[in-house]
Amino acid sequence: MVTLVSGSGLIVSILLGVIHVYWLKKPLFRLSRLVNQLTRGKLPVFSPSKSTDEIGDLERNLVKLVENLRSLSRFARSMASDDFTGSYEKLSADDELGEALLSLKGSLVASQKVSESKRRDEENRAWTANGLAKFSKLFREAEDDLQVLSRELMRELVAYTEADVGALFITSVTGIEKPVLKLTGSYAFDREKFIEQSYEFGEGLVGRAAMEMDIIYISDLPSGYLKIRSGLGEEVPSSLLLIPVILDGNVLGVIELASLGEIPAYQAAFIQQLADALASTISKVKANLTNRELLEQSRKQAEELASQELVSRLNLEKLERAQQAYLLKEEKLQKEIDRLKRNA
């Protein structure tokens, strides 16, 4: 009987031991499966136990680790889609993975800025090249008429640069007077205010640009200098650009553009190149005009000389006829004298 009781107690003890070991190892089995999922790159979803022992702490730390990995995953995915607005806060100074991703973000942002800058530069170069080709054609087609050239240039330039108003002043020199910059073409200016307007060198901003032979860019215009009319009324432009047109050290004119917005640097550089081409065109137009004036003057002089020659020839013929008439009359008179002598 004692032996039987002892055997039953042993069995119970073994069963209790097995059950105890099972309950001890069950959390470990669970943790082992979670860790196994993490080693395969999967982020498991689970809730930590409420146990306050070491296993409970381990599970809670494992939850924090998974949450951090998810945060890192979202951060990486946003960068992969070129969205760099997201942020990540490192767990601590020892967060090497977080530090690596933040460093990667910095490199990607810098690379994106470089790529964007290169793209803009390429677009600006293409815009400039197309503009130079466009205006070269305009210069060829209008190189015989300075007024037409000025009007067409400003109309197309204001449209191409998306400015609001523009004007071209060309240098005029008459006799011994000082050179004057006269308005020859404008677009969207108040015609009543600006018609026939002119500046001496050094006078106003236009004259100052000519005198200094340098670009003037102003983003704070003097009060009352210029207003732009629109359907909403009158507005003061935000920026003003004046570029002298120079050839061989001589100022042939000044280009003036005003805009309600900013005039970008690449557009100012383009207009500078355009001014160089315009200088050659203005010089050619003026030379053609001078040649035409000289030809017209020569033609008039030739006509006057031909007219004078005709008058001289007619006078000579008239004189010859008068002389012949005089000789005939003298001959007749002599015959009459001879007759009278014979009859005396």
For 282-314, how does the pLDDT look when each residue is reduced to its tens digit (9 = 90+)? 888 888 777 777 788 778 888 888 888 888 888
Q: How many domains does the chain contain in total?
A: 2
Is 3 a member of any domain? no
Q: Are residues 64 and 186 in the same domain?
A: no
Query: 150 pLDDT exceeds 70?
Result: yes
Share of the chain above pLDDT 90, in %: 24
Q: How confident is the model at residue 5 (pLDDT cuts 50, 70, 90)?
A: very low
Q: Among 279, 303, 328, give the residue marking a domain's end.
A: 279
Q: Among 250, 279, 308, give the residue marking a domain's end.
A: 279
- Range(s) of the domain holding residue 239: 122-279
Q: Is the dihedral of CA 195, 200, 202, 208 positive or negative?
A: positive
Q: Are residues 52 and 168 in the same domain?
A: no
Mean pLDDT of 51-71: 70
Between 30 and 195, the more confident residue is 30
Q: Among 222, 255, 279, give the residue marking a domain's end.
A: 279
Q: Are residues 182 and 258 in the same domain?
A: yes
Is 332 a member of any domain? no
Of the spans 17-26, 121-130, 215-224, 281-290, which averages the highest pLDDT? 121-130
In the chain, count H helices and then E strands.
7, 8
Q: Are residues 229 and 167 in the same domain?
A: yes
Is 138 a member of any domain? yes
Q: Are residues 223 and 148 in the same domain?
A: yes
The predicted pLDDT at position 42 comes to: 66
Is 289 a member of any domain? no
Q: Are residues 137 and 65 in the same domain?
A: no
Q: How confident is the model at residue 48 (pLDDT cuts 50, 70, 90)?
A: low
The phi, psi pair for 225, rounded to 5°, reads: -65, -45
Query: 24 pLDDT exceeds 60?
Result: no
Mean pLDDT of 223-233: 59
Mean pLDDT of 145-167: 90
Query: 61 pLDDT exceeds 80?
Result: no
The predicted pLDDT at position 341 comes to: 76
239-247 and 250-259: which strand pairing? Answer: antiparallel
Q: How confident is the model at residue 338 (pLDDT cuts 50, 70, 90)?
A: confident
Q: Are residues 165 and 56 in the same domain?
A: no
The predicted pLDDT at position 2 comes to: 44
Is 50 a member of any domain? yes
Query: 117 pLDDT exceeds 80?
Result: yes
Q: Are residues 50 and 179 in the same domain?
A: no
Spatial contact of 186 and 168, defined as CB atoms under 8 Å apart: yes
Share of the chain above pLDDT 70, in %: 73
Is 302 a member of any domain? no
Is 238 a member of any domain? yes
Is 308 a member of any domain? no
Q: Are residues 146 and 257 in the same domain?
A: yes
- E strands, the chain, are 165-172, 180-187, 198-200, 216-218, 228-230, 233-235, 239-247, 250-259
The predicted pLDDT at position 175 comes to: 65
Q: Which residues contact 185 (CB under 8 A, 6 or more apart)?
A: 147, 149, 150, 151, 152, 153, 154, 167, 168
b/e string for 147-181 if b means 16 or more Cβ within 10 A?
A: eebbbbbbbbbbebbebbbbbbbbbeeeeeeebbb
Query: 30 pLDDT exceeds 70?
Result: no
Q: Are residues 179 and 263 in the same domain?
A: yes
The phi, psi pair for 27, rounded to 5°, reads: -60, -35
Q: Are residues 130 and 247 in the same domain?
A: yes
Q: Are residues 159 and 256 in the same domain?
A: yes
The predicted pLDDT at position 190 comes to: 54
Tell if the pTM clears 0.85, that is, is over it: no
Between 17 and 287, the more confident residue is 287
